[in-house]
Structure 1
């Protein structure tokens, strides 16, 4: 069976690269530099590069939703070659393989799988696993429903999660309680994951869940919606509309979702850690606006040559993430820069951080030049 070649947009790889560049290069270096400079403005700006404690949303909170959004944005292009050729069985094998690999990689990155200590293995605790669940939900919708059905079901998932957290009450959890210790998503993570929940420890009194307050089990409904928001953006960019019309759809859609998310936040707060429906809508709107910006720069104005270096991250995004999460390059950096701490003073840590992430960039650059990409 002949499989058609996938259409590829430069803006998809560049925006994904921007997301990973922020994650594995800019943020660690900037925060270390801000601590060294220790000025009011840089200290304030550094707060925008760390997650809010609970309610609210800053720049750094868009990194994970954008990663998931980009996974969805490429799906209409990647799936088309299979669906147009009647290769659903082959596509299902690809989907299952990708979900399993992402889940395994997530356990390696944050589930402590490599610690070889059963007491430290956590089952569901990582961005890659959230992408896996969102991808699985979105793949089923994309394969078996037309656009109208996809919109209806995605909206249904968004509303179902809102209704569950707002109206279902079990013991001291839920019923519109969105606090860290008493929301319904927290309850489900505790009863389903139990000691395999990240941050949990076994004590004489039972399971101590600590202060870890990210939720995953029923939050997976909105992980699917976040990835589907990327799918909808992908539908727009893959359509036969003129490029200026695609830009309008992305921009207007983004503005409307941001506004709707803010309004919804008056009842259901914007909380990333439990992936509330208001946060899902709000962050998806920001992702739409970023997609519109990069589509305008790369595919509409043809400024790609100025941003192609971001593809070094974007075309090996999973590898970039895993290198950053798993391998500590500081032993190499400190060996190469041995003796400079005396001269660098407070800037020494920032220089070490810069060296660490530069090593990752070099590895990705070599692979990009050799056209070696980690496919999942």
Structure 2
């Protein structure tokens, strides 16, 4: 039955799509939803959490992998629209970016604290809205990357990738900034005390970022300045797609992906003592590390699906991968509903965890079981959409 289920899913895969890329996208969005929805944030295994500051965990690699795949999709998308003028492609890209940003903003605003009779949606949500977020960053990065791709060739894209990382490093390392007490800082990479945090604090405002209590500067992990190296991550995906679109043999393409991935990870780890790997700052070493791991996994998926022709294992991932934005939105709405609905003096999500999962599995395993159950229920909904060809395109 399971075998037939997987065969049916593969048979319905949309035409003209790369199986390995959809599977990798599915793995990334699956992992993102898993780590975002534990039963309790008090009980989460360390690999399923982001690094507190410098360093990395497997969870830190999820979002940049998704950005790399956004970049990979651009050359494939443009290949089917070669007859359109660049101005039209930019117009379409700007609309898509705006839609992504507004969807992200919708998720930020989709919350109401029903348990607090004094809760003011105007004061505590609308007037303190967080301007940044995952979808917001994807939208901005996508449009900037599209602009670079349309007006530069391969050499230009390589220069943009390396130039954005270099520019970000030079700004962070050498541009001085001051706090409200007149103290001048330069070259710091500390939590709440770096040039990127200073910029977020003064441009976005301390009440409109994620880390509002950080000192001396409130900042956002998807902030303004760190968008520059995030674009570089997306450009690395563009270059990977160009490699796969080339006429070279698949074996050669796989060797390049594996060697480039290993080299990027090695350089990032080697440079880590001097330039820390940091996801919240999206440091150039983090760009290297995350893009390197994405290249390795993509190479593995291509080897399995194209070289060895092992494809049935991709079926569950395809259900999520071909509809990643819809999955992210529906999961985000469901998670917020679980955190809003009051039950027995707490939220519905917390009540389910404490009354069902925690007694059965314990603290940490119960929290993980809750996240897995959330994922399995999401799979049922996404499978329904997949079988009916309902693909949400932004």
What's the TM-score, normalizing by structure 2? 0.81
Do the aligned residues in 1 keep the contact of 2:211 with 2:220 (CA within 8 Å)? Answer: no
How far apart are the structure 1 equivalents of 2:233 and 2:358?
47
Structure 2 residue aligned with 1:10:
19
Structure 2 residue aligned with 1:19:
28
How far apart are the structure 2 equivalents of 1:228 and 1:284?
10
Q: Measured at CA, do residues 252 and 174 of structure 1 come closer, stay the same or move farther in structure 2, by a change above 3 Å?
A: farther
Q: Measured at CA, do residues 52 and 225 of structure 1 come closer, stay the same or move farther in structure 2, by a change above 3 Å?
A: same
Instruction: Give matches, 1:1-376, under 5 Å.
Output: 7-25=16-34, 28=37, 46-82=45-81, 84-109=82-107, 111-112=108-109, 117=122, 118-124=126-132, 126-171=133-178, 172=183, 175-195=186-206, 197-199=208-210, 214-328=221-335, 330=338, 344=360, 346=362, 352-376=370-394
Runs of 4+ in structure 1 deviating by more than 6 angstroms, as ranges, are 207-211, 331-339
- Note the alpha carbon deviations across 1:19-68, whole angstroms, 9 max, x for none: 11122247746x87x95xxxxxxx8xx21110010000111110111111
How far apart are the structure 1 equivalents of 2:211 and 2:255?
47
Q: 1:350 offset after TM fit, Å?
A: 5.2
Task: Choose between structure 1 and 2 for higher RCO, CA contacts under 8 A separated by at least 6 residues.
Answer: 2
Number of matched pairs = 355
- Note the alpha carbon deviations across 1:51-94, whole angstroms, 9 max, x for none: 01000011111011111111111111011111x22443332222
How far apart are the structure 1 equivalents of 2:51 and 2:350?
31
Do the aligned residues in 1 keep the contact of 2:196 with 2:219 (CA within 8 Å)? Answer: no
Q: 1:99 offset after TM fit, Å?
A: 0.5
Do the aligned residues in 2 keep the contact of 1:6 with 1:81 (CA within 8 Å)? Answer: no
How far apart are the structure 2 equivalents of 1:309 and 1:159?
39
CA-based RMSD of the aligned residues comes to 3.1
Structure 1 residue aligned with 2:344:
none
Q: 1:266 offset after TM fit, Å?
A: 2.4
Q: Which runs of 5+ in 2 are unaligned?
A: 1-13, 113-120, 342-347
What's the TM-score, normalizing by structure 1? 0.84
